[in-house]
Amino acid sequence: MVGILLAVYVNSIIQERKNQKTVNTYLNDLKSDISSDISELKNDIKGNENRVTQIDTILMTFISGKELSKSEKIELLNRHIPLVSESYFLPERSTINQIESSSHGVLIDKQLRDKIFKYYTAQQQNEMNNERSIQLYMHNYNTPIFLRALNDGDLFESGAGSSFGMETNGDYRNMLKDKEYISALMLRRGNCTTQNSGYQRMLKLAEELLDLLDSVSDDK
């Protein structure tokens, strides 16, 4: 009887160590995922801040009403390039998917587990409530309007040395009279600001979670 109990005890210790090793692997992989998210969020925030700057500069150029040199026309054209690139943040979910499908998730400290799921729940809410609608709006509305407005022979002549057979508006300042284009600029600016508000919230949660993961690692 004593031998059986001892064997059960030893097996229990061995299994506990295996479980803890698996949990530690998950947590280390999760740290890598969160670090990747933080890096991407910072880049996305920086990209949107640059778009806002480009939009403000474009509008100020229009408002100034001055004649543009060839280099300034090239610059105006280039300022639109970030506006037709569409930003969308997706967190790295490979490790959390493994945790959710594994029985080992319940072995993670409750405080840490709650923080992990709070972060990924917030990410899902941000994607459903903000990212998808903004992405669809940019793809279906903003980007086509910007591309159409830039379909100007004079601008391409300045930038590429050829109009590629495109007609010219005659004066870039005519773009200011295009209410749909100006509306698209302002809405793109607003979407960038809205996205960054969500990204800032996600960044704060990610950094807090990474700090907690680091403290758990230090305790081991």
Residues 6+ apart with CB under 8 A from 76: 58, 61, 68, 155, 172
Domain membership of residue 86 as a residue range: 2-219
Integer Cα distance of 75 and 97 in angstroms? 45
- Kindly state the tokens that stand for 157: 């002549």
Specify the number of domains making up the chain: 1
Give the SS3 label for residue 118: helix
Q: According to the model, what pLDDT value does residue 152 have? A: 61
Tally of residues, the chain: 220
Residue with tokens 């698996």: 22
Integer Cα distance of 154 and 163 in angstroms? 6
Q: According to the model, what pLDDT value does residue 206 have? A: 95
Q: According to the model, what pLDDT value does residue 10 have? A: 46
Q: Taking Cα atoms as reference points, which of 139, 48, 141 lies closest to residue 89?
A: 48
For 129, phi then psi, to 5°, come to -85, -30
What percent of the chain is helix, strand and coil (3-state, nearest 5)? Answer: 85, 0, 15
Q: Taking Cα atoms as reference points, which of 57, 21, 24 lies closest to residue 189?
A: 57
In this structure, what DSSP letter does residue 85 have?
S
Q: According to the model, what pLDDT value does residue 7 have? A: 47
Handedness of CA 204, 209, 215, 218 (dihedral sign): negative
Digit-by-digit pLDDT tens for the chain (220 residues) are 545 544 444 455 555 566 667 778 888 999 999 999 999 999 999 999 999 999 999 999 888 888 878 778 778 878 888 888 878 888 999 988 888 887 666 557 788 888 898 999 999 998 888 888 888 888 888 888 887 777 765 666 665 565 545 555 556 667 777 888 888 999 999 999 999 999 999 999 999 999 998 887 655 5
Please report the DSSP string for 99-157 in residue order: HHTSGGGGGS-HHHHHHHHHHHHHHHHHIIIIIHHHHHHIIIIIHHHHHHHT--HHHHH
Cβ atoms of 92 and 39 closer than 8 Å: no
Integer Cα distance of 69 and 89 in angstroms? 38
For 68, phi then psi, to 5°, come to -105, 140
Q: According to the model, what pLDDT value does residue 72 have? A: 82
